[in-house]
Amino acid sequence: MRQDQFSTLASALWPAAQVSAARTARLMMLAFGGTVALTVSAKVQVPFYPVPLTLQTLVVLLLGAAYGSRLASATIALYLLEGALGLPVFAGTPEKGVGLAYMMGPTGGFLIGFLIAAAFVGFCAERGLDRSISKVLAVMTIGHGLIFACGLSWLAMMIGWPTAYYAGAEPFLLATLVKTLLAGVLMPCLWMFVPGKQD
């Protein structure tokens, strides 16, 4: 564990209060804000080749890096709970269905991957791997790999491995590379504005 003043970007930008009620309110606001960011990122599509670029996996991994493993995991879990309760927070909702029926569909594995990847990236960030471009690139690459591993494994049970890869991975590889590079630049840049931080 790092020995410097801040363990995560969130704790650096918004330190926890001494009063228990204030600490709880801070965590709740961060978690809710994270679910809002996830919902918006699920709905926004940027024109790209060969398919439109969505920002959701980028936001998932940035939340992990900024929040740390426990808060990021709780935020993703809250987001999944909102979706399970029928709120249209996922990509393609409500047009493609809502609730548990949607979550058990082709994208269910990717949703599970969000939780695992955010926890992994948060674990790494708590150990200082979110402050240099090279380390962030490595962590984000593995994070994206975890999301794809979960998503494709789930999808392969429905349509087989070759089809799962060509439908669920190949069209998104270039966009994933771009998002990984964005995260690799963004996190170290944000830390540059934190007073008293150490590398």
Query: In the chain, where are the structural domains located?
Result: 9-191
User: Residue 22: exposed, middle, or buried by beta-carbon count in 10 A (0-12, 13-18, 19+)?
Assistant: exposed
Task: List the single range of 2-6, 100-104, 119-123, 195-199 with lowest mean pLDDT.
Answer: 2-6
Q: How far is residue 171's CA from residue 160's CA, in Å, rounded to a whole number?
A: 17
pLDDT at 24 over 90: yes
pLDDT at 199 over 80: no
Q: What is the percent of the chain with per-residue pLDDT over 70, rounded to a whole number?
A: 95
End-to-end CA distance of the chain: 13
Fold of 9-191: Arp2/3 complex 21 kDa subunit ARPC3 (1.10.1760)
Six-digit token string for 196: 């008293």
pLDDT at 4 over 60: no
Predicted TM-score (pTM) of this structure: 0.94
Length of the chain: 199
